[in-house]
Amino acid sequence: MEKVVLANDHGAVDLAAAIRKHLESRGFEVCHLGVFTEESVDYPDMAQKAVEEFRRGGYAFGVLCCGTGIGISVAANKMKGIRCALPQNIFAARMCREHNDANFIAFGGRIDYPEPPLAMLDAYIDASFQGGRHARRVEKMMALEGR
């Protein structure tokens, strides 16, 4: 059974719960690091917890959620080796996996998406990295870390 790490702040408690349930229904083992209440927490802390857990190994990918998805994805992308995408629709969710080999995906609990976040998550899960010219581009992107 593939494992997924999931973390959220207070702005996405309900969305994270729905994502966890959906992932489990698809057969994933979910390590949900929280939070589970709307008591304020800092999204960079939640991103760091998720990335540190992901780095322990054995995870297929990670999912992060905050109010908009922006702050938590930016925080995750500051950490070495992380490519966290913030898709706006199903097409972008598929492409972040196929072209960018994203190892994290983020969503906003306060965003009215044009397409359901769970459908975007499915598009991400069902896609595969295409390699080829995309591998060269991912290598170049990752070479920018620390500059």
Phi first, then psi, for residue 131 (nearest 5°) are: 65, -145
Q: Which of 31, 32, 96, 99 is catalytic?
A: 99
Residue 113: how many CB atoms within 10 A of its CB? 15
Q: Which of 125, 59, 134 is nearest to 93 (CA)?
A: 125
CB 9 within 8 A of CB 42: yes
- Rounded CA-CA distance 40/77 in Å is 22
d(CA 86, CA 65): 10
- Is 66 designated active site? yes
Task: Point out the catalytic residue in the list 31, 65, 66, 96.
Answer: 66
The catalytic site residues sit at 66, 99
